[in-house]
Amino acid sequence: MESQPPPAALEPAAPVNKKLPRWALVLILTLGGLALAIGGCGFFLANMTSTRTENQALIGGAGFVVGVLMLLIGGLTALVTGAQRLFKKRDGN
């Protein structure tokens, strides 16, 4: 019987310390918030006429509220980033 060498030890993955660029954060928050708000609203309205359970309508309403908050935070972040870039160009930095 021929012995085989032991398998190579797996190296641990390098820690990911990269920060997400601001434009990517704004895009994720805005588009994700919009999708969640539309989906939550549709889920809420679809279950309003149903007599089965109110839990699904509650989940849809919560999804809508979270989506609107994400959309607002993304828009506010975009405005702040735009203002920072505008004033940075004016100062000549």
pLDDT above 60 (res 12): yes
Rounded CA Rg of the chain: 24
User: What pLDDT does residue 48 have?
Assistant: 73
Mean pLDDT of 4-32: 79
- pLDDT category, 44, cuts 50, 70, 90? confident
Give Cα 33 to chain centroid, integer Å: 7
User: What pLDDT does residue 50 have?
Assistant: 67
User: What pLDDT does residue 9 have?
Assistant: 67
User: What pLDDT does residue 14 have?
Assistant: 65
User: What pLDDT does residue 13 have?
Assistant: 66
Q: Is 13 helix (H, G, I), strand (E, B) or coil?
A: coil
Mean pLDDT of 54-65: 85
d(CA 82, CA 65): 26
Which pTM was predicted? 0.68
